[in-house]
Structure 1
Amino acid sequence: MQRIPCVLMRGGTSKGPFFHAWDLPTNIVERDEMLINLMGSGHELEIDGIGGGSPQTSKVAIISPSLHADADVDYLFVQVMVADRRVDTAPNCGNMLCAVGPFAIEQGLVKATDGKTLVRIRNLNTQTFVNALVETPGGVVRYEGRTAIDGVPGTAAPVQLTFLDAVGSKTGKLFPTGQATDVIDGIPLTCIDMAMPMMIVHASHLGMTGSERPADLDADTQLRKRLEALRLKAGRAMGLGDVSNMVIPKPVLVSHPREGGTLQVRYFMPHSCHRALAITGAIGLATACVSPGTVVMDLLGATAQELSLVRLEHPSGGIEVALSRSGADGKTIQASVVRTARRLFSGFVYAPTVRRLAG
């Protein structure tokens, strides 16, 4: 058995082990096999590993010092499948991202300052940059605080994330198909790539209210088949090719809010409904709210494009996204969210020795 240094952290509404890149195999196939083994992938409970038996708790973060002038650390996100023995490194994960700053500071990769410490992060999955502002009174990461986020019990210290260049994270375009709304199989939908490639659909166009519980949506076999058929075609239209073995684009159902927010959402990952909402998904959805021609603006009305704060209602509550515009033309959208994180344990995780591959 191999013994690998590991820190288990909660980031937002996700949880998973954090590793230094230098503690894992440099060969990608060997690395991925090791992660599959230590998480227990291939079993619905991940009973023989440290995964939690859910997409939200079967995630891995790999951190290393960055060689880029605009970043302090590099962050590679790995989604380890639960039932299937495979991983996906195509997308970013914004929830795990909010724990990167505290991890980097506590591991000595970034020097803390008294009060708050800025950690500049390059996400290797999407080659985008995010600034994380971490509370560090006395130069020590503080986890206790009064900030509450829906989907996580209790309160903790805030971590502010600002996505600097999330447009076209995987495709290079905000609207990869060239238009804000497409019609696939008779269904109007928006294919957007802002922090996360997504396929956004009015819930009513699929016979849903948009208020269904995640468990009920997961149990609706016909809905999941229809969403997957749309997702596969949307993936090709976005230039992603055959996405049958990829977790992007993510399908999202949108509907009118019920609790005074801007929009109600049901976010899929992509084959099960998120019990809350991915941060990267929230960034893209907030952008869709203020982008003319999208199915979201069609739902909300043209006045939505003036919004500077978007509240997205999800099954566990809601999340707020602050929007600002930058650039010479004032059209570049930047988004910020406040999340929380916590270190759960530090130590070693054990995994079966991976056979070394030739070359």
Structure 2
Amino acid sequence: MQAIPCVLMRGGTSRGPVFLANHLPSNPALRDELLLKLMGSGHELEIDGIGGGSPQTSKVAIVSASSHPDADVDYLFVQVMVAQRRVDTAPNCGNMLCAIGPFAIEHGLVNAATPVTRVRIRNVNTNTLIDSEVLTPNGRVRYEGDTSIDGVPGTAAPIKLTFLDAAGAKTGRLLPTGQVRDRFDGVEVTCIDMAMPMVLMHAAALGKTGYESPAELDADSELLARLESIRLQAGRAMGLGDVSQMVIPKPVLLSSPRNGGALNTRYFMPHNCHRSLAATGAIGLASACALPGSVAHDLAPVNGPTLVKLEHAGGQIEVSLEPAAGDSPEAMRASLIRTARRLFTGDVYVPSSRR
């Protein structure tokens, strides 16, 4: 059995092990095979590993000092499939992202300041920069606090994430198809790449209210088939090619808010409905509200710097939008507050051969 040092962390509404890059194989194929073993991928419960049997709890973060002149650390996100033995390193994960600052400080990759330490993170998946502001009174990371986020019980210390250059994170363009609206299978959509490539559509266009529970949506095989057909067509139109083995773009159903927010959402990952909302998804959705002509702007028109409240199945998430240069949507900077917690530190044991 091979022992590998790791820290299991909750980041926002996600959970997974965080590793130093030098503790894993440098060869991507060997690294990915090791991650499949240690997470227990290939079984719906991931019973023989430390994965949680859900896309939200089958995530891995890999951290190292950055060679980028404007970044402190590099962060590679790995989505480990639950029932299938494969991984996807195409997207970023904004929830696990909020665990990276505390991890980097506690492992000596960034010197702590008092009372707040800013960690500039380069997400390797998308080659984008994010500032993470971590509370560090007396030079130590504080996890306890009074901040609550929907989808996570209790309270913790706030961590502010500011996405500095999120437009075109994977495709190089905010609107990868070259237009603000497209039509696939008779459904009008907006294909947007802001922190996360997504294909947005009105829930009503697929015969849904948008207020169904994730379990109800996951049980609707006809809906899932329609979403996948639209997603595959959108992926090609966005320049991503055949996305059948990728977790991007993410399909999102939109509807009018019910609880004082700007927009109600159901976000798919992409074949299961998220129990709340991905942080990167929230960044893109809030930005889409500020994009005239988009299907999100239809329901929630946003102009200028503002706080956008997005409703989801688990509550709400707030995104602060601020133009960085002029009024161009591509120059929009978005911030949100998340929380994180260190769950345990130790070694994870991995079989030396595949069983």
Scaled by the length of structure 2, the TM-score of the pair is 0.98
Distance in structure 2 (CA, Å) of the matches to 1:76 and 1:354: 25
1:194, distance to aligned residue in structure 2 (A): 0.1
Distance in structure 1 (CA, Å) of the matches to 2:70 and 2:317: 28
**1:236-315 correspondence to structure 2 within 5 Å:** 236-301=236-301, 304-306=302-304, 308-315=306-313
Q: Deviations over 1:21-63 (max 9, x none)?
A: 0000011100000000000000000000000000000000000
1:311, distance to aligned residue in structure 2 (A): 0.3
Report SS of the residue matched to 1:162: strand
Distance in structure 1 (CA, Å) of the matches to 2:300 and 2:261: 11
Q: Deviations over 1:168-213 (max 9, x none)?
A: 0000000000011111111100000000000001000000000000
- Contact kept, 8 Å, 1:34 with 1:354, in 2: the verdict is no
Amino acid aligned to 1:188: E
Distance in structure 1 (CA, Å) of the matches to 2:203 and 2:165: 29
Distance in structure 2 (CA, Å) of the matches to 1:53 and 1:172: 33
Amino acid aligned to 2:319: V
Residues 1:352 and 2:351 are matched in the alignment? yes
* 1:327 counterpart residue number: 325
Amino acid aligned to 1:315: A
Distance in structure 2 (CA, Å) of the matches to 1:277 and 1:104: 25
Bigger shift: residues 307-316 or 142-151: 307-316
Amino acid aligned to 2:177: T
Shift in CA distance, 154/329, structure 1 to aligned 2, threshold 3 Å: closer
Distance in structure 1 (CA, Å) of the matches to 2:26 and 2:109: 20
Report SS of the residue matched to 2:303: helix
**1:1-359 correspondence to structure 2 within 5 Å:** 1-301=1-301, 304-306=302-304, 308-327=306-325, 332-353=331-352
Distance in structure 2 (CA, Å) of the matches to 1:108 and 1:247: 33
1:306, distance to aligned residue in structure 2 (A): 3.8
Calculate percent identity across the aligned residue pairs: 68
Q: Deviations over 1:274-322 (max 9, x none)?
A: 0000000000000000101101112234xx2346110000011000000
Report SS of the residue matched to 2:297: helix
Distance in structure 2 (CA, Å) of the matches to 1:198 and 1:335: 16
1:326, distance to aligned residue in structure 2 (A): 1.1
Report SS of the residue matched to 2:323: strand
Q: Which runs of 5+ in 2 are unaligned?
A: none
Distance in structure 2 (CA, Å) of the matches to 1:178 and 1:295: 15
Q: Deviations over 1:253-273 (max 9, x none)?
A: 000000010000000000000
1:164, distance to aligned residue in structure 2 (A): 0.1
1:150, distance to aligned residue in structure 2 (A): 0.2
1:328, distance to aligned residue in structure 2 (A): 5.7
- When the two chains are superposed, the root-mean-square deviation of aligned CA atoms in Å is 1.0
Moved over 4 A (4+): 328-331
Distance in structure 1 (CA, Å) of the matches to 2:319 and 2:114: 27
1:330, distance to aligned residue in structure 2 (A): 6.0
Distance in structure 1 (CA, Å) of the matches to 2:327 and 2:11: 34
Distance in structure 1 (CA, Å) of the matches to 2:231 and 2:196: 14
Shift in CA distance, 139/25, structure 1 to aligned 2, threshold 3 Å: same
Distance in structure 1 (CA, Å) of the matches to 2:323 and 2:305: 11
- Contact kept, 8 Å, 1:115 with 1:138, in 2: the verdict is yes
Report SS of the residue matched to 1:305: coil
Aligned residues: 353
- Contact kept, 8 Å, 2:304 with 2:322, in 1: the verdict is no
Scaled by the length of structure 1, the TM-score of the pair is 0.97
Amino acid aligned to 2:203: A
- Contact kept, 8 Å, 1:30 with 1:354, in 2: the verdict is no
- Contact kept, 8 Å, 2:161 with 2:335, in 1: the verdict is yes
- Contact kept, 8 Å, 1:41 with 1:82, in 2: the verdict is yes
1:352, distance to aligned residue in structure 2 (A): 1.6
Distance in structure 1 (CA, Å) of the matches to 2:326 and 2:91: 29
Distance in structure 2 (CA, Å) of the matches to 1:20 and 1:69: 20
Distance in structure 2 (CA, Å) of the matches to 1:173 and 1:330: 13
Distance in structure 2 (CA, Å) of the matches to 1:306 and 1:67: 35
